[in-house]
């Protein structure tokens, strides 16, 4: 029997609510909102209450996929990145930077978000930058 309660931070938005993940024999059962967290004081929103679900979901992406002949195919990171770079270049050259939008995340650091918007604005030439917490 291996029962753990692991204190962590909700991955959904930028608030940073804390909860314990109840883990029994390697399987996550549920979040338990942390009462001593100054951020959420033992409360969560519906996203936090279900934050554990994607972790063990069979539908979770665990590596890059590229659509080839209409089918999603697992590829290496190198191949995925090369493909992305070449397509971004093509689209920018033929339709301009404003035809591209970037989608960042509230789950990453400020610095990573800074880098992404810098790349979008200075590298590609678009102001269309948004993030997942606007879901």
Partner 1 sequence: MIKTVQERVKALLDSGEIAGFLGLKEAGGHIGPHLFTPEENGLDGLVLGDWKGPGDARYTLNKQLIHLARAYPDETFGVLVRGCDERGLKSLYVWNQLSPEKVVPVGIACPPELAKACECSKPYPDALVAGEKGEGCAQETLKQVEALGLADRFGYWQKEFDRCIKCYGCRDVCPMCFCKECSLEDPDLVNTGDVPPDNPTFHLTRAVHMAGRCIDCGLCNEVCPVGIPLRTLYKKVADIIDEEFGYRTGQAADEKSPLNILAGAS
Interface with partner 1 (CB under 8 A): 1, 3-5, 7, 18, 20, 22, 24-25, 29-30, 32-37, 42-46, 49
Which residue, 27 or 95, is less far from partner 1 as judged by CB?
27
Which residue, 5 or 84, is less far from partner 1 as judged by CB?
5
Which residue, 10 or 120, is less far from partner 1 as judged by CB?
10
CA distances from 128 to 85, 86, 92, 98 (A): 18, 20, 14, 7
Distance in Å, CB of 31 to partner 1, minimum: 8
Residue with tokens 């999603």: 72
What is the C-alpha separation between 132 and 102, in angstroms, rounded? 11
Smallest CA-to-CA distance from 32 within 24, 45, 43, 16 is with 43
Distance in Å, CB of 48 to partner 1, minimum: 8
């Amino acid at each position: 029997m291996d029962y753990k309660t692991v204190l962590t931070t909700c991955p959904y938005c930028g608030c940073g609510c804390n909860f314990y993940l109840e883990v029994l024999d390697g399987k996550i059962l549920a979040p338990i909102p942390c009462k001593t967290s100054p951020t959420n004081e033992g409360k969560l929103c519906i996203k936090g209450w279900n934050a554990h679900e994607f972790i063990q979901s069979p539908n979770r992406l665990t590596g890059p996929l590229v659509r080839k002949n209409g089918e999603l195919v697992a590829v290496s990171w190198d191949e995925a990145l090369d493909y992305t770079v070449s397509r971004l270049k093509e689209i920018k050259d033929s339709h301009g930077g404003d035809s591209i939008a970037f989608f960042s995340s509230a789950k990453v650091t400020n610095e990573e978000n800074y880098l992404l918007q810098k790349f979008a604005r200075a590298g590609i030439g678009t102001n269309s930058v948004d993030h997942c917490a606007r879901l």
